[in-house]
Structure 1
């Protein structure tokens, strides 16, 4: 079971697909383990010759858990409404982006395509901004720019996000299944999600991980201007019915990045529903292929310049 290391944090990861395939680093969202990138979803990318790398963000799954008192709901709410003199979070989105770079380092990979969902999209954006030579393209799914003016959650989504989940296994799983029914909107599949939540509960339990991660998200800066300076292929995917990061967040992301393409799914909420896997992975793979072709064209042009 491989681990990368970034300071005091050990980051668990796995690799799917050919070792000589172009690497695709998959970054998952708030409180979600890397197995939320379901193997069947990843296989639809691997089938096109790409190497998929999944990892557990810090404070979740099999990665290191922060040994500190987690922020309270009150502290998170005060940070969310931007009251002054809030304590600094234990870590930031930049630190979480550096965890992903540590995974690439451990694998000896110079650069990778990055795909992020929800908070993972924020981390993936941060990777591209802060580590531009190591990112080949960006796919940002159901995410936002960090601007407080876009992507606001509904009041019900906020309530669900801040509610503690039960500790007992069956109660925890059923609570999660019910919660995500609202977040996923029209294309929800309770049996598939029950399987995931059972697998995640049995793999690792991090009761306070989401609180530390949410503190990092809420302390994040507006990335709009930095996204506007990116020079890489970008794809933005969002659900029209997303109640947690509403569609304005995705639209603002696509508008901020020069040349970004956007795909909107009408029935999709805040999740990766199985009925969309075929088209969604087709969109992602087509984007990766275009990015690889553009990179090769740039390399050929540089070689031609050098030769002349």
Structure 2
């Protein structure tokens, strides 16, 4: 369903029913809400939560920003490496306000804010500037964005710079599978058939590569987040795979160090994806953490 959030049309999926504590799931760079697997959502709902997913702006079925152009990603990357300000059509702060707008549209006062990768960065911003809306924060396979942290492995960066052979469905799926093979969880590999089924479903739902580029620039422009993380006071759990080839585990460790009182959990054999086994592990960490935060939040002060 569509809701109006921060003045934009945002696509939302709502699972679990009113009257329950809410978990807001925020997905990563270029990824649609369906990248949160249905079984993962159901596991959290079965644990007693109302689970909200949404397509971030410029991706999936949410409102796009094609009128803003894509900018020059190569030049902006150079600017970032030189320590200059990256120019972007919008910011991660804008996307954080979108997410809060989703809660507003659904009449939700507070939520557990859970984000993966870029979604973790957005979730961090929500917890930093809207603590009254944040029952707890869970940052998954994400980063503080601090300069000096390790980046993707060289072969991953090379693959990210390559373009698909064409824009027909088979070529796009094959290209994405090659990337996923580089960043997958080595302890929990998926077959090409499993990956192709999921990728094909996403492509047929929506395909918007220009939005991915604009979101990438928004990440590069977000240079204040390392400083503001120290102001987060909501209960925080940082989850990161020890085999992440896209966002190395040092990035998650740095995030946890910067947020006072946060908990850090390293997940053996997890990369930068969400296969069923990893989703089960994540849910088994998130559900009890959120339940404990709910209990503390209702306790008399």
Q: Same fold (TM over 0.5)?
A: yes
**What secondary structure is seen at the aligned counterpart in 2 of 1:208?**
helix
In structure 2, distance between residues paired with 1:222 and 1:147? 9
In structure 1, distance between residues paired with 2:86 and 2:178? 33
Paired position in structure 2 for 1:247: 249
CA separation of 1:44 and 1:73: change in aligned 2, threshold 3 A: same
Tell me if the contact between 1:79 and 1:219 (Cα under 8 Å) persists in the aligned partners: no
> Which aligned pairs between 1:1-308 and structure 2 lie closer than 5 A?
1-7=1-7, 9-66=8-65, 67-82=67-82, 84=84, 88-165=87-164, 166-186=166-186, 187-189=188-190, 190-297=192-299, 300-301=300-301
In structure 2, distance between residues paired with 1:87 and 1:285? 37
TM-score by length of 2: 0.94
CA shift for structure 1 position 222: 4.1
CA separation of 1:277 and 1:5: change in aligned 2, threshold 3 A: closer
- What are the ranges of 5 or more consecutive residues in structure 2 without an aligned counterpart? none
User: For residues 181-211 of structure 1, what are the alpha-carbon distances to aligned partners after superposition, in whole Å with 9 as ceiling and x for unaligned?
Assistant: 1011402313332222111100011021110
- What are the ranges of 5 or more consecutive residues in structure 1 without an aligned counterpart? 302-308
RMSD: 1.5
Aligned positions, number? 297
User: For residues 221-274 of structure 1, what are the alpha-carbon distances to aligned partners after superposition, in whole Å with 9 as ceiling and x for unaligned?
Assistant: 242332222111111110111111111110011111122111111211111221
TM-score by length of 1: 0.92
Structure 1 outlier segments of 4+, above 4 Å: none
**What secondary structure is seen at the aligned counterpart in 2 of 1:26?**
strand
